[in-house]
């Protein structure tokens, strides 16, 4: 049973999953509208942080069962500093971002989410799925809600894996057995007009090619230098699906096949079967159809916090009109 200080809410976009559970689970204040001025909002913030510390086990259980929790209606959640305190109250160790998306530190353990132009959509993915050490949990905070679009779409990855396995049993078995090779080009110079536009220097946080090589290899991948000064990271072969400890037999679609349906995918990402053969077009197209059919598009409201289990749920960004400001924090 939920603690008395909060109650379960609902949003129109929710979907029912196994055992009648809703995805995502929505958590709202038990007494909505109680905190209407700055003093009472500060009081609410103290109450929220105390609730997190006392009920962290309950929150983690609900996250594990649903895959995502949306905290909505907490008037004390106004700034990046509020969000930082919210995340910090859980006591989970911060996870450092390693990826090609442009991001900046805002305060403490809070970063901007992908800073690419808002008219670009971002494909479904598990955060940092191509490296050995990926975060287990993601927090997103809406500081400024967009006037139109800009939803964060989330999908239960086990439902995608189940659908794909039922439609392409032999091919999925091959991708599980032989894995997937992913090539990600990194430009010599930064490109902020593209959602994966980090230069290799920014991506790997060094200007030294030898150190860059070492860091990529430490992550389990290979770094190949191009004549123009750019570089390619070759990841894999990595299995198309994974089953994580503590998740019973919940097999998840933990790969970058969704990238292949993106309109600019050929410019940054090449995906192949582990044996070097091309991934069939029909499995690429069907995976996109399944994810878009199964997903929930969370329409942001200012102050929302969305907590995602990165071992169970993929996320994506829909295009929007400005302004939109969503911040992120990752946990080990």
Number of domains in the chain: 1
70, part of any domain: no
Domain carrying residue 223 = 158-291
Contact 66, 308 (CB under 8 A): no
Does the pLDDT at position 35 exceed 80?
Answer: no
Write the DSSP string, 242-293.
EE-TTSTT-EEE-SSGGGGGSTTHHHH-EEEETTSPBPPHHHHHHHHHHHHH
Tell me what pLDDT residue 2 has: 46
| pLDDT band for position 1 (cuts 50, 70, 90) | very low
Q: What is the mean pLDDT of residues 282-287?
A: 92
The CATH code of the domain that includes 191 is 3.60.130.10
Write the DSSP string, 91-149.
-PPB----SSS---EEETTEEE---S-TTS-EEEE-TTTTSSS--SEEEEEEEE--SSB
* Residue that the structure tokens 């805002």 belong to: 106
117, part of any domain: no
248, part of any domain: yes
Tell me what pLDDT residue 203 has: 83
165, part of any domain: yes
Strand-pair category, 180-186 with 270-273: antiparallel
235, part of any domain: yes
3-class SS of residue 249: coil
Instruction: Tell me the per-residue pLDDT of 80-114, one tens digit each, with 9 for 90 and over.
Output: 999 999 999 999 999 988 766 667 899 999 999 98
Identify whether 107 is preceded by a cis peptide bond (ω within 30 of 0). no
Does the pLDDT at position 219 exceed 90?
Answer: no
Helix (H) or strand (E) holding 216: helix 209-218
306, part of any domain: no
216, part of any domain: yes
Q: Rounded to 10 degrees, what is the CA torsion of 292, 295, 299, 301?
A: -150
Instruction: Tell me the per-residue pLDDT of 285-305, one tens digit each, with 9 for 90 and over.
Output: 999 999 999 999 999 999 999
236, part of any domain: yes
Q: Pull the structure tokens for residue 79.
A: 């700034």
């Amino acid at each position: 049973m939920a603690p008395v200080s909060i109650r379960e809410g609902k949003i129109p976009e929710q979907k029912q999953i196994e055992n009648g559970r809703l995805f995502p689970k929505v958590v709202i204040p038990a007494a909505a509208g109680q905190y209407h001025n700055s003093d009472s909002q500060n009081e609410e913030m103290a109450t929220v942080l105390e609730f997190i510390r006392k009920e962290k086990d309950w929150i983690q259980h609900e996250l594990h069962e649903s895959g995502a929790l949306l905290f909505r209606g907490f008037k004390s959640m106004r700034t990046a500093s509020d969000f930082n305190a919210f995340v910090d109250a859980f006591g989970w160790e911060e996870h450092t971002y390693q990826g090609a998306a442009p991001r900046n530190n805002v305060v403490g353990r809070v970063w901007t989410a992908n800073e690419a132009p808002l008219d670009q959509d971002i494909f479904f993915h598990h955060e940092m799925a191509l490296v050995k050490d990926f975060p287990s949990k993601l927090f997103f905070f809406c500081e400024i809600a967009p006037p139109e679009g800009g939803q964060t779409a989330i999908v239960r990855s086990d439902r995608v894996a189940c659908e794909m396995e039922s439609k392409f049993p032999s091919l999925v078995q091959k991708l599980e057995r032989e894995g997937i090779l992913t090539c990600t080009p990194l430009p010599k110079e930064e490109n902020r007009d593209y959602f994966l536009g980090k230069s290799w220097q920014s991506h790997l946080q060094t200007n030294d090619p030898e150190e860059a090589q070492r860091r990529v290899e430490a992550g389990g991948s290979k770094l190949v230098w191009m004549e123009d000064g750019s570089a390619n990271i070759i990841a894999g072969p990595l299995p198309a699906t994974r089953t994580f400890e503590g998740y019973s037999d919940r097999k998840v679609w933990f790969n970058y096949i969704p990238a292949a349906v993106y309109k600019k995918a050929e410019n940054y990402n090449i995906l192949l079967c582990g044996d070097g053969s091309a991934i069939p077009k029909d499995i690429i197209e069907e995976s996109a159809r399944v994810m878009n059919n199964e997903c929930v598009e969370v329409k942001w409201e200012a102050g929302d916090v969305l907590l995602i289990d990165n071992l169970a749920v993929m996320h994506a960004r829909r295009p929007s009109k400005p302004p939109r400001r969503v911040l992120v924090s990752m946990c080990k």
